[in-house]
Chains A and B, each alone.
Chain A
């Protein structure tokens, strides 16, 4: 009995010692080696700078696996702990890579922002230049429109003025026609004034009694814009042609001068003596000779 018990104890102790001895000289399992490599890779990558907390967790995990290996060797928990440590390192590496990608994207977006702004500035500059050119063109068009409008207004005013003048002229002639002989002829409108009313026999000074008539004539002529007036002196056939010619001339000039004094433009009126050369009635009768003794004022067309 004592021998069997001794052999059993010895065998057991030997087995125990052998196991302990085996643990002390164990080769790290592949999983632990892989875990160490994975940690070094993560540490030297993006995780080293961007994910320090996650890397620290991986280190802790690796330390646990190392402790297990140091204590129990390759058996037991070491394999599983090394596996977990490897995954933790790979996790830290992956998180670091993702963060690096996000930072790259942010940097690119910032760069894109700068480029877009530069493009927008350039486009903005071109648009502003185009706007300025357009505004300038619009300004020119507006000025042109303004000129056209002003021109139109001027033309309308002139037309109105002309119509008013024509109306005044017509009214003046109509009024004159009520008291004097006014006739439309091929040479123009002819106002006939009786020589007997205007002058004394053989004289060329306008009689005071005729002045009111001549005033009306002056008023009417002043309304006739841009016309030329000719004052013709006429006599009957009694006496010599030379005397009659001279008398008719002086009478025409007298009437002309009176009209000028009363507002008719000097360069718009002329006087001519025609003597007995243009009778309008028979010089053989008293009435005929009276009619021939006349002054005609022709309003040229």
Chain B
């Protein structure tokens, strides 16, 4: 009896630990919203890879909000982490694209200048 009761208790404890008391991830709701807005302002929509990750971030956040409504806070928190990571990546990809374009433009200008200097 003692062994069986222990197993049951442990199982119940596990169930409890698994998610029923995970707090509502309000801070992550705000930070993910900020990250997505940042990606939009960085022009992520204008670069294909950045646009994809911005969309993933927006969809992930929407799913997380739905999970919060269902009381599934832990799952929601993980989904918000994904959304935030996607949004941050969208910003970085947009800026990477700009930096590469700038470098390319400068290369063209330098080549033109070298050509002129040699004339």
Contacts and interface: CB of A to CB of B under 8 A. Distances in A.
Interface of A: 5, 9, 12-13, 16, 77, 80-81, 83-84, 87-88, 90-91, 94-95, 97-99, 101-102, 104-105, 108-109, 111-112, 115-116, 118-119, 122
B11 interface: yes
A102 B82 CA distance: 29
A91 B92 contact: yes
B89 to A, nearest CB: 5
Contacts of B98: 98
B117 A84 contact: no
Chain B CB within 10 Å, residue with most, of A80, A88, A94, A109: A94
A84 B100 CA distance: 26
Interface in B68-101: 78-79, 81-82, 85-86, 88-89, 92-93, 95-96, 98-100
B30 interface: no
Given A13-B7, A84-B82, A112-B110, A104 B103 contact: yes
Contact of A91 (B8, B85, B100, B103): B85
Contacts of A118: 117
Closest 7 interchain pairs by CB? A87-B85, A80-B78, A101-B99, A94-B92, A98-B96, A98-B99, A105-B103
A84 B85 contact: yes
Chain A, interface SS category: helix
Contacts, number: 88
B79 to A, nearest CB: 7
B95 A90 contact: no
B102 A115 contact: no
Contacts of A99: 99
A41 to B, nearest CB: 14
**Majority secondary structure of chain B interface residues (helix, strand, loop or mixed):** helix
Interface string B11-24: 10000000000000
A90 B102 contact: no
Given A108-B107, A108-B110, A81 B78 contact: yes
Contact of B100 (A16, A101, A111): A101
9 contacts: A84-B82, A90-B89, A95-B92, A98-B99, A99-B99, A104-B103, A108-B109, A112-B113, A116-B113
Nearest to B79: A80
B106 interface: yes
Nearest to A96: B96
A13 B3 CA distance: 10
A104 to B, nearest CB: 5
Contacts of B86: 87
B68 to A, nearest CB: 15
Interface string B50-62: 0001000000000
A84 to B, nearest CB: 5
B89 A108 contact: no
A95 B96 CA distance: 7
A47 to B, nearest CB: 11
Nearest to A81: B78
Given A108-B109, A119-B113, 12 more contacts: A9-B3, A13-B7, A80-B78, A84-B81, A87-B53, A95-B92, A95-B96, A101-B102, A101-B103, A105-B99, A108-B110, A116-B113
